Structures are given as structure tokens and as C-alpha cells.
Amino acid sequence: MEGYKKKLRVFGIGKINVCAVTVFFVLLIIGLSVNFWGTKAEFLATGSVAGDVGLSVALVLVGVILHEGLHALAAIVFGKCKKEDIEFGVKLKEGLFYCHCKKPVDGKAYCAILIIPLIITGIIPFIVCMITGGLMQTAIFALMTAGASGDVVMLCGVLKNKDTERKIIDHPDATAYYALYPENDLPEGFSETSEEEEKEILSSAELKDGKKLGIKILLIALFIALTALALFLVGLFMEIV
């Protein structure tokens, strides 16, 4: 970008996944504990396991679409972007959906773009389900909240590096962004990220993430096993009662 020098900030998928799994299980334990012993709410929102499974699948699909749509809406409202500045896509290798803003935005606006979908599609509905009941729905919104871990990690990066005071632009291919520094106001010791350095940084991050693939597979398997166990226990409990 003319008049600016850029500094690349990269966030490893491995770190984000560890954060997501941790957040999911912490929220799941809290949510189900409140369901069981706090509000003593209904375990099944629809009255049947099959109905709740269908409802949960629908909530995930709608939630993912709404999450990315809210990123785009926040970019338009707070980042002053146009529709043509926004691009949607899927990173199959990382298992991520994304909304990419091709235009530089103010650092504070970038924070709003990151955090608004988490609040609307994760935190608020999780709290509602935790209080009103629905074991599977509570778990789904715990998952939706944890699924925004990438946004939270990036937000922490923006705040830690004090990038709220400068312009920011998304990286088109990686979980990363460029902090833009005015050429006439560079901090002491500043060095712009060159194309060669960027390739090396992204390659190194990808290699580290690749080493964690086995752990990620085990965690996914654990999640599926625990979900299946929860469904079984709910069905058994309903039969006993």
C-alpha cells in the first residue's frame, strides 16, 4: 500500500486449535453443570433425541453462515468496506470457513469485525441455552463459541501489538494480517516484512502445524466419542425416567 510499510502478524492454526478445544470443554462443563444442577432445565429442547439432533445440525449450519455474514456486515459498517472488498471461502486443509476483507481498515474497526460474530453467534445463545435448557443446544453453542477461537487469538494479537492505532489488512491466504505503518512515522528499529521473510514465516508456521496433526485428529476423535456418549446417556436417562 502506497505510503505505508507492512509488518506481518501470523497466528498458528495449532495454537488456535488448542485454544478452541480448551474453550469448548470448559464451556461444556459449565453449561451442562448449570443445566443439571442450577436451573434444572429440560434436557431435550424438542422432547426427543432425534429432534434435538436435527435442530442441532440446523443450528450449526445457520450459525456458521451467520458468523461469516456478520464478519462481512461489520466490515461494511465499521470498516467502511464495499461488497466487492469482501470475499468468502473455505480452507479445507485447516477445516476453516473464512471472510476475507481485501481493503485496509482502522485497527479499532478490525477488532469489531473480529469480535461481533463471536458475541452474537456464540456467547449470547450459549448463555440463553445454558439457562433455558437443551443439552445438545448448550453443547452446540459452546462449540460455536470455541469455533471463534481464531478470531479471539487474532484480537489478542491486535491488542498486544497495539495495532488498534494503525491500519490493518487481512492476509489473503493465512490466519494472519498486515499491520500498516506510515512511512513518515516508523518506530525505532522497524523492519518491513519482505516477500522472502513472509514465505519463510508462513512455511515455518505450516510446518509446526503439520506436526500437530496427530494431536488434532485425537482431539476430534475424543470430541466425537464424548458427543456420542452424551447422546447415549440422555437417551438412557429418558427411558429410565
123-152 pLDDT, tens per residue? 999 999 888 877 888 888 998 999 898 899
Q: How far is CA 149 from the centre of its chain?
A: 4
The total of structural domains in the chain comes to 1
31 or 236, greater pLDDT: 31
Q: Please give the model's pTM, rounded to 2 decimal places.
A: 0.81
Q: Which residue has the cell 476483507?
A: 101
Q: Of 54-63, 132-141, 219-228, where does mean pLDDT reach its minimum? A: 219-228
Give the residue numbers spanning the domain of 56.
Answer: 4-240
What DSSP state is assigned to residue 9?
E
How many CB atoms are closer than 10 A to CB 157?
17
